[in-house]
Amino acid sequence: MLLGVMLSTALVAIDATVIATAVPSVVAELGGFSQFPWLFSAYLLAQAVTVPVFGKLADVFGRKPVMLVGIGLFLVGSVLCGAAWSMESLIVFRAVQGLGAGAVQPMSMTIIGDVYSVAERAKVQGYVASVWGVSSVVGPTLGGVFSEYTSWRWIFYINIPLCLVAAAAIGWRFDEQRGRRTGQDGDEPGRKRRAPLDLLGASVLTVALTLLVLGVLEGGQAWPWASVPGVGVLVADALLLGVFVLVERRAADPVVPLHLLRRRLIVTTSAASACIGAVLLALTSYVPTFVQVSLGAGPLVAGFALAALTIGWPISASQSGRVYLRVGMRTTAVVGAVVVLGGCALLLPLGSSSSVLAVAGASFAIGLGMGLTAAPTLIAAQAAVGWGERGVVTGLSMFARSAGSAVGIAVFGAVVNASLGGRSAEGAGVAPGELADAVHLVFLGVLALAVVLLVAVVLMPKDRPAPRSSGQPDPDGDLQAST
């Protein structure tokens, strides 16, 4: 069963990094440098808005069928991306991939939360972290190899065998009943919570997030900021978000349960997830391009520079379980956030005369901090609820990360496009120094997000170093206060 979860995680992990090193090659064939942030935003938007839906479906129908549907969607999306004929078609097909990732990523973590106790997850987290470690090397390297020696299209076709093996492992080896027994909270999935799915809420949220990303990313490009479209899109988005809140209050089984947002632990860990997602995608999107264009390195070298980030993450994540069992989840997350802040500060001196090693070193430090922050915040949220809400809580955390990533990459894309002006339209005429200055603005934004991340984890409720077993949710929604 664990093998199937690890393979499923590998799907999302590899896809998160493999396309970053291929951006220059994709743009060279399909054009549209100013549109390339949509390759990430479309994927993340589809993932973000479907994560809560799949989390809800998992609490009603079980984890296995949702996971298998997600793997199937990811497979179809990968095949279509490999066959894309234009930047627009590739963006659409990336959204199909995102639909699959919206099920795969939260279900992987939910299954682990079902089958293993909080203490056991300290060990299992190391296994899952190893997947990110391998993927962090394999992903950028494959992207660089395929871009440099064959075709960028193979970065998507490589997902086909992984999808097939992961689906087989989950289908044959995962015992759904084991996860239900481990919960021990009396919530019997499949017999309760049969209220109609909140399709209206999911639809409103989808349109609202899409308008937000559209307004931020296209403002100053497709239309002036101070224009009817520029202002109208953002106003419409604000109104739709208000409508979404009203819909969720009246829904029998809301896609985003608003009552969870009254718990300090859920709010702080979700805010931390959003910051983590935004920082990760900002660096994933712009570090490889910065290394190739500003520093003159090839796709392979750019891939290794990005791999430093995703290598540092699993190294610390594999040890985070031991740390939070000793000192508590909040303390572990705070230490990680401080390391992230330090790594982001190291990005600021980078310029067109910097070395690739300097970029890799800063990325590695950020990755180390992320590994100490991401796992404890998610596990803390999972430990606060029982089986019947664990899928929703996990989905909410993944939704926050995906939404943070989607909005973050849109904001940073708008900043870079505005800095480069018309020269960003097709990626032509951009001098290394100009791109370095534009990406420096992204690094400043990443530093600001690191500060917000630190504040969020500091505000988490205190918890005892020795966590409870996974079947004992805190009735107040927070971890037990330390004595």
Q: What is the DSSP letter of 425?
A: S
| CA dihedral (146, 343, 326, 328) positive or negative | negative
Q: What count of Cα atoms within 13 Å lies in the side-chain half-sphere of residue 260?
A: 25
Q: Kindly indicate the confidence band of residue 427, based on its pLDDT and cuts at 50, 70 and 90.
A: very low
Instruction: Please give the structure tokens belonging to residue 103.
Output: 């099920």
Asked if 41 and 147 sit in the same domain, the reply is yes
Q: Supply the pLDDT for residue 51.
A: 76
DSSP letter string, 315-375: HHHHHHHHHHHHH-HHHHHHHHHHHHHHHHHHHTT--TT--HHHHHHHHHHHHHHHHHHHH
Per-residue pLDDT reduced to its tens digit, 216-228 = 767 766 677 788 8
| 186 lies in some domain | no
Asked if 27 and 73 sit in the same domain, the reply is yes
| pTM > 0.85: yes or no | no
At which of 254, 274, 300 does a domain end?
254
Asked if 81 and 142 sit in the same domain, the reply is yes
For the chain, give the mean pLDDT: 79
* Burial (Cβ within 10 Å: 0-12, 13-18, ≥19) of residue 427: buried
Cα–Cα distance for residue pair 483/128, rounded to 1 Å: 32
> Count of domains in the chain?
2
Asked if 136 and 232 sit in the same domain, the reply is no
Residue 192 has pLDDT above 60, yes or no: no
Q: What count of Cα atoms within 13 Å lies in the side-chain half-sphere of residue 465?
A: 5
Q: Supply the pLDDT for residue 482.
A: 35
Per-residue pLDDT reduced to its tens digit, 56-81 = 787 777 788 888 999 999 999 999 99
Higher pLDDT residue, 11 or 244? 244
The domain in which residue 332 lies consists of 2-179+255-458
Tell me the C-alpha to C-alpha distance, in Å, between residue 291 and each of 34, 57, 140, 148, 435: 18, 42, 13, 15, 10
Per-residue pLDDT reduced to its tens digit, 160-191 = 888 898 888 888 877 666 545 444 444 444 44
Segment 75-96 shows an average pLDDT of 91
CB atoms within 10 A of CB 173: 12
Phi and psi at residue 53, to the nearest 5°: -65, -50
Tell me the C-alpha to C-alpha distance, in Å, between residue 43 and each of 15, 74, 403, 406: 10, 11, 11, 8
Segment 286-296 shows an average pLDDT of 83
Cα–Cα distance for residue pair 215/232, rounded to 1 Å: 9
Asked if 303 and 227 sit in the same domain, the reply is no
| 476 lies in some domain | no
Asked if 158 and 305 sit in the same domain, the reply is yes
Give the best-scoring range by mean pLDDT among 151-165, 237-251, 276-290: 237-251
Residue 437 has pLDDT above 90, yes or no: no
Q: Supply the pLDDT for residue 271.
A: 94
Q: Supply the pLDDT for residue 48.
A: 75
